[in-house]
A and B are shown apart, each in its own frame.
Chain A
Amino acid sequence: MTSAQDGKFFQRGKTEELRAELQAAEGKDKKYIKRKTALKKIVANITMGNDMSPLYTDVVHCLGTPLLEVKKMVYLFLISYGRSKPEQITYVIPNFLQDCNDRNPLIRALAIRTMSYIPIPSVTDALAETLRHCLKDRDAYVRKTAAICVAKLYVADPRRTEKAGYVEMLRDLLLDSNATVVANAVAALSEIAERHDGVSFQLNLVVANKLLAALNDNSEWGQVYILDALLRFVPQEHADAEIMAERIVVQLQHANSAVVLTTIKILLYLMNYVENRRLIEHICKKMGPPLVTMLSSGPEVQYVALRNILLIIQRRPMVLKNDVKVFFCKYNDPVYIKLAKLEIIYRLARAENAPEVLAELQEYASEVDIDFVRKAVRSIGRLAIKVEEASSACINALLDLIDTKVTYVVQEAVIVIRDVFRRYPGRYEGVIPKLCEHMDLLDESESKAAIIWIIGQFSDRIDNADDLLDDLVYTFLEENVEVQLALLTASVKLFIHKSQKPSVKELVHKVLKWATEEIDNPDLRDRGFMYWRLLAINPATAKEIVLAEKPAITTDSDRMDRGALDQLLLHTGTLGSIYHKNPETFIRGVAGRSLPDTPALNNHSRAVLISTGRGAQYMNPPISVAAGPIEPSAGPSTVGNQAPSSPEADERLLPSGSDGQDADTSIDKDRDADEHAAPTRPPAPMDVNDPYSNLDGAFGGYIADGPRPMQNRGQNNDLDDLLL
């Protein structure tokens, strides 16, 4: 098709001139060329953002022109300005109604579609009248347009639309002979049901099967609407879910990724109601390849896929279990893709593939993008913590990286090595001298706090620990609180180890004095007082408390809570699945979703079920999304600083909290012991009103996979759990 040359109309037009032009066109105007030109100028001005509403009556006057193009431009004008002229629009309504009865279905549909975009009472009234006929129009094109109009009408006036029986008429359209009409009716009904005040829209087996029959005759978009609606089918028996899953599994072969992701959403949902293990395995096996194929699409689709994959493999680890390599980054991948892949790589890493993964991470650690490099380095440390077999190789890799002397690389390495020390006590302390050599490169508080923790913790083995600390303490008052806390605890530890040295005594005294007298931060001050008393009253007890044995850390618990995952996966492919948040937490007035509890629900899924009452959303204050639930790509410096907003955060090894934990864990020794003895951890305390309160930090950032105490080891490793 050749291009028009209407660019010339993009000139700011004065309304008087344009009006004059339109009026002139009422005279002799062969083929209505003048009128068309004038209208184009007006539409061009609307496009440029100029107010053309003063021309309302003149433009409407053109409706009599027997030219489709003119009609469309006038309608476009009405969509833009109709609502601002409620009195004058009544003059247009007869034109609309005339068009609604036109012989040409294109015109009929155009008329109701345009009317439905002008939500003022007089138009809505007229539309309501004529829509009744249009929903039964002989032409499918009109019916499919009318179906969507019902949804629009519902938004304008829910109660009336329902009373007038339109919702019922939509339900009738579900059985329409034309598949496109069925799909649009499904979309409209789903939309209506989605509203918290909406009508209910459940599918029984008969209707669900009818919809499935229409699936293959639909365009790709129609397929998305129908598949999406299958979430409203609640299996009462295992067989219901199994048959349905088998019927839709073939849609995974569709070229459109939206169809594929929606299919995956339904499959994941149905699998909660499937009993047959073989079928579950079969479906899991089928889901992997299409997900991998999406990685060959454009970066935007890839990104959606990657964020979803991260959720899916936590719930169904069988999917993509052996596919870590496909997530290896391409050199030219956008950084947001690389970061998303990195998280998946880490999650898929196990003893068998650890050497390849490590080699790849090392490659990334020398790339250009700083953010990516930092996270790659951090991942090497996390790999050491996750996969014991690979820990020595990872430590070697980290030491090589420290040799590069690139500051941000060294800082990241020091931070993760501290965690590695806690995971494998007594194994890698030999590398401490090397870390200390590069102390002068550390200029960020997180890494400083890490090296200070290391020096304090192992001050009995570091000969010149007192000199090192003395240097670090020099800037005590200028440091931020994270570093100050670390310095305070480290000097106390040093004192306990080397109390006989006068210089050490002097040092600890100096720090305690600063912390208690010069500092305003209550946390720091109180801790200073506590240490001081402890040391003064009974140095032996102080030793027991400050140097108490710490629980080792692990990454076993880094998977998201199963019940929460089940819930989040009901939103596969949507924005929520990208932000890793349930929509009711970021959209006002949206009803939450949960797995309906029926006899067919798996015991495994029921055990972790989080149900959302329909009223729950009112209790949830919509969170402010100023910064937005954007992809958690907060800078690395904030990673460790996340406020302990979730219960888990307390257990997480926060850099600033690690010192606190020394004290905490030992003071609360009894509690700790109990937890160790208990095979499973009691569920994290939750805000009763907010079932997601414990999710908050769980996906906040990179630290979501950060090491945590080894309390619930084994809880998630049950094979059944992986499968069902």
Chain B
Amino acid sequence: MASLIAILDLKGKPLIQRTYRDDVPASYVERFLPLVLDFEEEGQQVTPCFSSQGIHYLHIRHSNLYLLALARRNTNAAEIIIFLHRLTQVLVEYFKELEEESIRDNFVIIYELMDEMMDFGYPQTTESKILQEYITQESHKLEIQARPPMAVTNAVSWRTEGIRYRKNEVFLDVIESVNLLVNANGNVVRSEILGAVKLKCYLSGMPELRLGLNDKVMFESTGRTARGKAIEMEDVKFHQCVRLSRFENDRTISFIPPDGEFELMSYRLSTPVKPLIWVEAAVESHKGSRVEYLVKVKAQFKRRSTANNVEIFVPVPDDADSPKFRASTGSVQYAPDKSAFVWKIKQLGGGREFLMRAHFGLPSVKSESDFDKRAPISVKFEIPYFTVSGIQVRYLKIVEKSGYQALPWVRYITQNGDDYSLRTASEKGSAPIAPI
């Protein structure tokens, strides 16, 4: 449990704060940033949880703000950190942007939210949709005032009753992000697929939904044989609306969805993935005065698919200047702030292969012992109508007691994860690797 929650600007000044327990004086909020600076000065890492003088500081960053929780007891750190993320999420959904200005403009309602979302340091209701039903900007006459929605204490704490849509629809997005690390020698060191099933639900009443996937474990446990490929998910995580016990029993994904947009489930596969987009770069440096790159990109997926908005980031030395580029497709830009150049290809067809050359001048002459470590090449891309794992939505059944017909729409997309990187070979002329 947290004793105090505060939102601070980057200078460490509290913009708004709320005390939940008396065991931590409010003034400790202002010690946060000086402590962080002290750690940095001493060359220590600033970790998300640290303690000083018996007070524990847990914090996250959101754009130009710190969200800080103080505690004196042996708090559940995961709970508090996730709560801070939820608070951020709720405030963003309320005010679109969470920044210094929006906090000042809405301080009264933020106090109300802080009072409602946490009591005595225990997180309570953190569903923005539900909060919005009874904590609003509009003034309430005490006569016709808001009441706590049933959902606050209901078993279905994420959906309220009486929702009506003229047209009942569900949009389902299956998004797979590929994380991959390729070594300088071309071997895939690590790869994983992070999948997410996101829903946009525009459904009336209290609908019961059931989602069917080509889940291998489900087919095996029910003794059915899959038509086509079945996939084996290593780990599945569900939104709290999914009945976990039913999933455990017969792998059925059944739920009453929240209204609007939410992430129904996420899954992870660590089956080896062939790099969908392969990039290799040959680097040649000429006596430390100029450097040349030859970059090759290859789309290693089926011809019928196309990767959109491919961006290849190739790191270059910090001081590289006078860039010259020649690419067989797309456009190339130098991004000195990122110490990289970016090769952008709007559409990259499956099986296609392209080359580009880059040339830079290097003003400062490097000494031999200079340890030039370059970041790996990273790639961004999107491949629509395609999932790398082969996951498929077999059905989405929607049942509501009023008996309406609802249409589910499904879309698939595969994209890069936050770490799709290929390490470059060490530059020619760097220290040779000597055998013992």
Contacts and interface: CB of A to CB of B under 8 A. Distances in A.
A325 B243 CA distance: 32
A683 B270 CA distance: 42
Given A217-B155, A301-B82, A4 B435 contact: no
B189 to A, nearest CB: 6
A255 B419 contact: no
A571 interface: yes
B411 interface: no
A572 to B, nearest CB: 9
Contact of B50 (A187, A371, A628): A628
A516 to B, nearest CB: 37
B277 to A, nearest CB: 17
- With a 10 A CB-CB cut-off, give which of B47, B51, B139, B140 has the most chain A CB atoms: B47
Interface string B398-436: 000000000000000000001101010000000101111
Contacts of A328: 181, 189-190
Nearest to B79: A258
B244 A253 contact: yes
Nearest to B44: A633
Interface in B225-252: 234-240, 243-245, 247-248
Q: B interface, how many residues as a size bin?
A: 35 or more
B170 interface: no
A629 B49 CA distance: 10
Contact of A180 (B79, B157, B376): B157
B77 A573 contact: yes
Given A6-B106, A144-B153, A301-B78, A254 B244 contact: yes
- With a 10 A CB-CB cut-off, give which of B94, B111, B237 has the most chain A CB atoms: B237
A335 interface: yes
B337 interface: no
B329 interface: no
B373 A367 contact: yes
B243 A216 contact: yes
A2 B82 contact: no
Given A43-B111, A579-B51, A587-B72, A366 B371 contact: yes
A405 interface: yes
B143 A224 contact: no
A300 interface: yes
Interface stretch (A393-401, A488-496, A535-543): A393-401
B359 to A, nearest CB: 25
Interface residues of A, number: 134
A141 B146 CA distance: 13
A178 B78 contact: no
B122 A47 contact: no
Interface in B22-66: 22, 39, 42-54, 56, 58-60
Given A104-B147, A298-B60, A574-B77, A293 B105 contact: no
A475 B161 CA distance: 82
Given A3-B96, A220-B240, A184 B122 contact: yes
Interface stretch (B123-131, B345-353, B387-395): B123-131
Nearest to A635: B43
B136 interface: yes
A154 to B, nearest CB: 11
Nearest to A143: B153
A206 interface: no
Contacts of B369: 404-406
Given A216-B245, A228-B76, A405-B369, A140 B141 contact: no
Interface stretch (B112-120, B210-218, B283-291, B292-300): B112-120
Contacts of B155: 179, 216-218
A155 B121 CA distance: 13
Contact of B54 (A68, A107, A625): A625
A369 to B, nearest CB: 9
Given A67-B139, A575-B51, A106 B419 contact: no
A68 B126 CA distance: 21
A575 B375 contact: no
A357 to B, nearest CB: 11
B147 A106 contact: yes
Given A47-B16, A216-B243, A588 B54 contact: yes
Interface in B124-169: 124-127, 132, 134, 136-137, 139-143, 145-148, 152-155, 157-158
Contact of B142 (A68, A220, A325): A68
A224 B46 CA distance: 27
B75 interface: yes
A625 B240 contact: no
A332 interface: yes
A36 B190 CA distance: 59
A52 to B, nearest CB: 14
A453 interface: no
A303 B60 CA distance: 12
B98 to A, nearest CB: 11
A261 B79 CA distance: 9
B357 interface: no
A76 B114 CA distance: 11
23 contacts: A1-B93, A1-B95, A7-B104, A73-B108, A106-B134, A140-B153, A179-B155, A191-B1, A221-B123, A224-B79, A225-B122, A253-B237, A254-B240, A262-B78, A299-B48, A305-B78, A326-B192, A332-B418, A403-B431, A575-B56, A578-B77, A590-B74, A630-B50
Give 4 nearest A-B pairs by CB, closest first. Answer: A289-B235, A583-B74, A217-B155, A140-B153
Given A255-B265, A575-B49, 14 more contacts: A67-B139, A67-B141, A107-B142, A216-B245, A219-B127, A219-B240, A296-B268, A299-B48, A325-B190, A332-B419, A371-B43, A405-B369, A575-B74, A576-B74
